[in-house]
A and B are shown apart, each in its own frame.
Chain A
Amino acid sequence: MTLRRLFLITLVPCAAQVAHAQAARLDATADAGVRRAVEREVSAARLIGLPEGLLIAKANEGLAKRATPKRITDAVAALGKRLQVARDQLAPNPSEDEIAAGADALYVGVPAPILKKMRAAWPNRSLALPLGVLTELVAKGLPADRAARTVTDLMTRGATNVQLYALAQSVQGDVAAGWAPEAALDLRARGVMSLLPPAPAASAFTNPRRP
């Protein structure tokens, strides 16, 4: 028994694998009504190529939280719609992670056309993390347009995922310290911008100037 072991920290490495395994199958506690409704949504999602596992995971989330059958079926149906919108806006070949992140962004109030503009800014790179950052900023209270403009500008200027992640973390810390979300975003975005090369072209959010 050494002093070092006093500081031993318990790690639970298998929880993520457990989550993944459980997400593939509807929880056995689901009643017949929920099961039928979820299966209907899953079948519809499968037909149009949406990630059905996300729908099952949402239903299992409702069951774990002991929500009513109506709430669960409503949530699954709403998620199905969001996934479809996200897939369409992030066309042509969004990954499952991107679709899930897009649906999350729509859930917190990001307008659907913004997803399309972000895809235009990064046509060949995964949008999963930028969408996650945008979701976090909007959930924090920033106007969706403002947050999306900042994130897309940074993407266009060549910001990395690490820089976008650091931006979200910094804004979070500033807001926790009492800053207004918009002021924190402006400050932190300027900090990231200063590290990037000048913009090669107008971003997808810039209106064309008329002569």
Chain B
Amino acid sequence: MTVARDSIDTAQGLLAMRYQFAARPHWHLESGVAGAIFGLNRLTGGGNGATFLRMQHEYRTRGVWMGGAGGVTNRTGTSLRSTAYDMGAWGAYKRTTATFSAVSTRSLDTDLLSASSLPSRRPVGSYVVRDGTLSVQQSLAALDLAAILTLRSGEGIAKGVNDRAVMLAAAFYLSPVVALTVSGGRQLADPLRALPDAKFMAASVRVLLLRRDPAVRQIERYGAIAMVQADPEGGATMTIRVLANSSARVEAYGSFSAWQPVQMQWVLDAWELRVHVPQGPQRVAVRINGAQWRAPANLTKVNDEFGGEAGLVVVP
């Protein structure tokens, strides 16, 4: 539900995918499509479709990306195209994540810009706006807080556009799959998604409906799990999964690695490591961002002689 000065009514959907390169674990490709239908008081109703492609490099608690996006908006039977190129960087320290992005957007959707508060007169043909955005997010136990500052300049218009906007957002997690979100502030006109400049307040309930497999449900219940599946040729494959932020640094170690930390890999929606282990008792522990080593919650916890803990699993 959205309530705004411009009385935006909209229904929208987004499908995003992330491709992890097996040979280059620090690189991945993100892609997606979005569609919306809307009605605006200042403009006629219509529809919008957009797609994006982005290459990202992640290393431990920081990363950079570069990508592009294209969108088409149709309000009166004429398709108005927009294209954007963006690049950015992010870094995390403890529970704080900061992101900076630079975006250059070219659009033929002059109606959208003239419907917004700036510029003062209608541009002709295409126009270009460049945005610099800084966002800071703080994660607490069950609460995420975010502040986003955007500075904008433009060209191809009679007078350059210079503007700024601030947004604040909060998400309170009632459970791993249900969150209440509240956000407010100012959204600069977004030609790619056909959103006009607007001050807004929004509240929503976010529910994650689909699950990939039962193991993911277990992760959400336990935080970290380890499972073994017997191999026909002897021993077993042990799969360790940890539910943590994708920007975290997640490691596992145990008797299988001579207690040397092994970096886990981000696979779709969780951190994962698969190792072949021999028959008999095995011990394993995981840690996030260099914190204390913990036993996977579904295993029997045993304390070691060195003041730490590990999970005990018997391999059949």
Contacts and interface: CB of A to CB of B under 8 A. Distances in A.
A78 interface: yes
Given A11-B274, A97-B280, A22 B258 contact: yes
B314 A129 contact: yes
Given A129-B280, A132-B281, 8 more contacts: A5-B19, A10-B20, A61-B255, A65-B259, A71-B307, A104-B281, A129-B279, A136-B281
A135 B306 contact: no
B251 to A, nearest CB: 12
Most chain-B Cβ atoms within 10 A of its Cβ — which of A7, A11, A162? Answer: A11
B262 A12 contact: yes
A178 interface: no
Contacts, number: 130
B275 interface: yes
B279 A176 contact: no
Nearest to B18: A6
B316 A172 contact: no
B233 interface: no
Interface string A25-53: 00000000000000000000000000000
Interface in B1-58: 17-20, 22, 25
Interface of B: 17-20, 22, 25, 222, 235, 237, 253, 255-260, 262, 265, 267-268, 272-281, 293, 297-302, 304-308, 312-316
Interface string A65-108: 10100011011001000000000000000000100110010011
A69 B32 CA distance: 54
A61 B302 CA distance: 15
28 contacts: A6-B17, A6-B20, A8-B267, A10-B265, A10-B274, A11-B237, A11-B274, A12-B262, A12-B275, A13-B276, A15-B256, A18-B258, A18-B260, A60-B258, A61-B259, A62-B306, A65-B259, A67-B306, A71-B307, A72-B306, A97-B279, A97-B280, A104-B281, A132-B280, A132-B314, A136-B300, A136-B314, A176-B297
A23 interface: yes
Contacts of A176: 222, 297-298
A9 B274 CA distance: 8
A10 B267 contact: yes
A107 B306 CA distance: 13
A184 interface: no
A148 interface: no
Interface of A: 1, 5-13, 15-16, 18-19, 22-23, 57-58, 60-62, 64-65, 67, 71-72, 74-75, 78, 97, 100-101, 104, 107-108, 128-129, 131-133, 135-136, 139-140, 161-162, 165, 168, 172, 176
B167 to A, nearest CB: 32
Nearest to A171: B300
A13 B275 contact: yes
Contact of B305 (A23, A62, A101): A62
B280 A1 contact: no
B267 A9 contact: yes
B292 to A, nearest CB: 11
Nearest to B213: A7
A29 to B, nearest CB: 11
Given A64-B253, A172-B300, A165 B314 contact: yes
A2 B309 CA distance: 41
Contacts of B316: 129, 161-162, 165
Most chain-B Cβ atoms within 10 A of its Cβ — which of A16, A18, A140? Answer: A16
**Consensus secondary structure, chain A interface:** helix
A8 B267 CA distance: 8
Contacts of B297: 176
Contacts of B313: 136
Contacts of A168: 314
B22 A15 contact: no
**In the complex, the 3 A-B pairs of residues with the closest C-beta atoms, listed nearest first:** A64-B259, A75-B305, A132-B314
B232 to A, nearest CB: 14
Most chain-B Cβ atoms within 10 A of its Cβ — which of A9, A62, A78, A100? Answer: A9
Given A10-B267, A101-B281, A61 B312 contact: no
B294 to A, nearest CB: 13
A23 B259 CA distance: 10
Contacts of A75: 305-306
A64 B256 contact: no
A62 B298 CA distance: 25
A13 B20 CA distance: 19
A132 B20 CA distance: 37
A53 to B, nearest CB: 11
Contacts of B277: 16
B135 to A, nearest CB: 27
A107 B304 CA distance: 9
B22 A12 contact: no
